[in-house]
Amino acid sequence: MPSRVKTLIVDDSAYMRVVLKDMLESDQGIEVTGVAKDGLEAVEQVKSLSPDVVLLDIQMPKMDGLATLQRIMKDAPTRVIMLSAMDEKDDLLPIKALELGAVDFISKPSGPVSIDIINFSDRIIDIVKTAAGASIDALKKARSPPPKRIAAIRKENAKDFRSIVIAASIGGPRALETIFSALPRDFPSPLLIVQHIPEDFSVSFAKRLDSANGPKVVLAADNQRVERGTAYLAPGGKHLKLNWRGATSLMTKLDDSGPVNYVKPSADVLFKSAAECLGEHTLGIVLTGMGSDGTEGTLAIHKAGGKVVVQNEQSSVVFGMPKSVIEAGAADSVLPLEQIPDAIVEFLEE
């Protein structure tokens, strides 16, 4: 990451441009090198200023945020963070932006002109600094077509009740879509997912991931029976756990206790409960993301006899979470993203 993160702010609101500039420049590690009022200006300033990070409003005249993002990623690939007010007409816009190569998105708390955004300055500064360390090569791959779908899994070798638990953070939505696009819809095991994402976007992300037409994806609810062939996404703001009801029914549990590793939901919480419930029948997968969430959980899976796969550095937008697992000695395999679906199938068929 550079010593000072050169940042370009793009927003059609003059008020938001001033507030965001003052907010970011309050941190000595960030330098605002330019501001733009629309997408056309943004594309030109990205070329001329070469910022480390672009803070890009998603709803703008002339050229909206998605079109601007596509132009930037085509002409001068850069780390882009989307600013998004929840749009009731299309709540999938931020998710689409991540799939087009955005690093992350920030939710405007009270609409397009968000007077109270100053209350979230610490989080926004942290996201901008984190984005500066993202791999541009990995972000460019977001524009690549998904891998070929695996035709089928030999169900005669998948009689055990095995589970796949997945952790992801920055770069995770696109990585998860890549995996789910390769897996067959008729999937013989359950999957459980922790993606660090704001609560407001949990429903839309579950819908988007389900549209990949791999295993069915639902937003996890409390006290829900875990079924083969279904993926359960932990909702933002709740930890997801597993427990047994009797000897045959594996159930979900949503936990409202405090953050773990500064995040909620936490992969460690899910992974540890999976290790306790299913032991060697658990495959833990840690994808791109910052920090160490998932490390303690993968150690628990490893100790219980399960397997652990992590995404390699070259295909990760941010290598923090996978690297932490590797350094802890819990990774059985370190693979490029496109090889992880095959590793899932191998685990189920072995």
Q: Which residues are catalytic?
A: 169, 196, 293
Dihedral of the alpha carbons of 82, 178, 204, 129, in degrees to the nearest 10: -30
Q: What share of the chain is helix, strand, coil (3-state, %, to 5)?
A: 40, 20, 40
**CA dist list (Å): 318 to 168, 186, 283, 335:** 10, 31, 22, 15
| 3-class secondary structure, 191 | strand
Strand duo 163-168 + 216-219: pairing: unpaired
Strands, sheet with 307-311, edge to edge from the N-terminal-most edge strand: 216-219, 230-233, 191-195, 163-168, 282-286, 307-311, 333-335
Spatial separation of the C-alpha atoms in residues 14 and 11, rounded to whole Å: 7
| 3-class secondary structure, 197 | coil
Longest dimension (CA), the chain: 64
For residue 48, give every residue at least 6 positions away whose Cβ sits within 8 Å of its Cβ, in sequence order, or none: none
Spatial separation of the C-alpha atoms in residues 125 and 18, rounded to whole Å: 15
Spatial separation of the C-alpha atoms in residues 2 and 15, rounded to whole Å: 28
Spatial separation of the C-alpha atoms in residues 13 and 334, rounded to whole Å: 45
